[in-house]
A and B are shown apart, each in its own frame.
Chain A
Amino acid sequence: EDQVTQSPEALRLQEGESSSLNCSYTVSGLRGLFWYRQDPGKGPEFLFTLYSAGEEKEKERLKATLTKKESFLHITAPKPEDSATYLCAVQAGDYKLSFGAGTTVTVRA
């Protein structure tokens, strides 16, 4: 059974204080690892897909990396608008997504 574990559960940052979120996973036949952002009361918003170890992707202050066992989401110089829950999910060959519990990030001005 696919397993996805995210840490920490919650992260409180000062504006400008960079940090990283962790997503460790076990899956049979990884097709892709996905990062989403979810704001309260809304559906998840797609951020990145990573397919192979060593791959990196960036979008504004966010950078996602992938190894064979885990992925990191780095937030550089965060702003209050980066406050959200960040979800990690793995996709196996049947295209279904298995989600982690998420990391709730709060950025204080």
Chain B
Amino acid sequence: SAVISQKPSRDICQRGTSLTIQCQVDSQVTMMFWYRQQPGQSLTLIATANQGSEATYESGFVIDKFPISRPNLTFSTLTVSNMSPEDSSIYLCSVMGGGGGTDTQYFGPGTRLTVL
């Protein structure tokens, strides 16, 4: 399976600021996704990161709040903009279509974000 890294692993931010999270994969993958896991809850899909075009957002998530880039087949970024304490969560990227199979999603280690 693909090896996925995320930066930063954790951060503490002030209300009103923005944070960009990076996701790097060691091989080319077909699809990349961004999820949010709020404290004590399961994973919720934020968006599908499309290579070379605008991301596809799920209901309840908008580009102005969570801009996403995917410049190539191994890298993506998620920005959490104008943060509030409600944005405190673990943010996870996942990839699909690497060496492990065509439809299995593999997850990165996550970025733990705390907003004060």
Contact = CB atoms under 8 A, between A and B. Distances in A.
Interface of A: 31-32, 34, 36, 41-46, 49, 87, 89, 91, 95-102
B31 interface: yes
Chain B interface bracket (under 10, 10 to 19, 20 to 34, 35 or more): 20 to 34
Interface of B: 1, 4, 31, 33, 41-45, 48, 58, 92, 94, 96, 100-101, 103-110, 112
Contact of A42 (B1, B45, B105, B110): B110
Given A34-B104, A44-B43, A97-B43, 15 more contacts: A43-B4, A46-B1, A46-B107, A49-B103, A87-B42, A87-B43, A89-B43, A91-B103, A96-B33, A97-B45, A97-B105, A98-B45, A99-B44, A100-B42, A101-B41
A55 to B, nearest CB: 15
B109 A43 contact: yes
A95 B31 CA distance: 9
B42 A95 contact: no
A43 B105 contact: no
Contact of B48 (A32, A45, A96, A102): A96
Nearest to A88: B42
A31 B43 contact: no
A33 to B, nearest CB: 11
Given A43-B109, A44-B43, A95 B96 contact: yes
Contacts of A97: 33, 43, 45, 94, 105
9 contacts: A41-B112, A43-B92, A43-B107, A45-B107, A46-B104, A49-B104, A96-B33, A97-B105, A99-B43
A45 to B, nearest CB: 8
Contacts of A91: 103
A32 B96 CA distance: 13
Given A95-B96, A95-B103, A96-B48, A101 B42 contact: yes
Given A32-B103, A34-B104, A49-B104, A42 B109 contact: yes
